[in-house]
Structure 1
Amino acid sequence: MDDRLAERLRLFREGGHVRPEVADFVTAELNALRDEGRTVTEATAGMLTSHLVMALTRLLDGEPAERARDGDAGGIPATDEQLAAELCAHPEAVARARAVAARADRELGAALPDSEVAFLGLHLAVLGRRLTS
């Protein structure tokens, strides 16, 4: 993890809006990705980091994990064929997202809904593409 991504996590911690266990969980997940050979930097994993930190924090605070927008079903367009195609093209990212969600449920008691797992899968697919590019 580069200094800028570590700084992002530090700001989340020090801001007082994120539980320490959430920051620790996300840090561990990022370190696991790095240890697998992925490039985990602000540029490659900044959005993944923020998304996961905020989703887990909302869940633990008793709020919905996703923020629905007009025309969306749970934060994901219900008819988004491009999203479905992207996820189908990256089954390893979807499997990894499901594994992260299972660990979050087990370790934090935060059950990510399917829409959040899908978004997590997209972030991981981007990270995986950067590994092979």
Structure 2
Amino acid sequence: MEDRLALRLQLFRDSGQASPQVTRFVEEELTALAAEGHPVTEDTAGLLTSHLVMALTRLLNGEPIEQFLTDDDVAVELADHPRAVERAHAISLRAKKELGAALPDSEINFLAMHLAVLRKNALRRDVP
């Protein structure tokens, strides 16, 4: 993992904003995304990293995650990115299994948006 992205996770952990369990989970997901060919760097995945860390932390702390009024709009945007939606659901299922925190649909949609952008960056990288 890129040093700057690893530092982001370390800062969440060391500051007490996220548990080692959550940061380890997110690190494993980022490693898996990189292994799938996605460009996982601070520039391409920093927001994804923060979003996932904070969403999982809120869930584990029992804090509410509100449904966004834009969920339908986000779903329309994601219609062209089925792989990102599938991957976001897979991450949510793993979070439920390993952390006991199932992401609500709203968070899955926003996670899928981050993953769609990450995939788009991977495709751009492959174009000469």
Normalized against structure 1, the TM-score is what? 0.89
User: Who is 1:25 aligned against?
Assistant: 25
Pairwise CA distance, 1:2: 1.2
Say which SS state the counterpart of residue 23 (structure 1) adopts.
helix
What are structure 2's unaligned runs of at least 5 residues?
none
Which digits, 9 at most, give the CA deviation of each residue in 1:33-85, with x for residues without a partner?
01111110011000000000000000000111x3x4xxxxx1342552xx233
- CA separation of 1:4/1:106 partners in 2, compared to 1, >3 Å: closer, same or farther? same
The one-letter code sitting in structure 1 at the alignment partner of 2:108 is: V
1:123 to 95, 103, 114: 114
User: Do the aligned residues in 2 keep the contact of 1:34 with 1:40 (CA within 8 Å)?
Assistant: yes
Say which SS state the counterpart of residue 130 (structure 1) adopts.
helix
- CA separation of 1:123/1:76 partners in 2, compared to 1, >3 Å: closer, same or farther? farther
How many residues of Structure 1 are paired with residues of Structure 2 in the alignment?
Answer: 124
Greater share of helix? 2
What are structure 1's unaligned runs of at least 5 residues?
69-73
Superposed CA RMSD:
1.2
Normalized against structure 2, the TM-score is what? 0.92
The one-letter code sitting in structure 2 at the alignment partner of 1:56 is: L
**Quick one: distance in 2 between partners of 1:3 and 1:28?**
15
**Quick one: distance in 1 between partners of 2:117 and 2:54?**
19
**Quick one: distance in 2 between partners of 1:36 and 1:79?**
29
User: Who is 1:111 aligned against?
Assistant: 102
The one-letter code sitting in structure 1 at the alignment partner of 2:18 is: V
**Quick one: distance in 2 between partners of 1:116 and 1:19?**
19
- CA separation of 1:78/1:90 partners in 2, compared to 1, >3 Å: closer, same or farther? closer
User: Do the aligned residues in 1 keep the contact of 2:75 with 2:109 (CA within 8 Å)?
Assistant: no
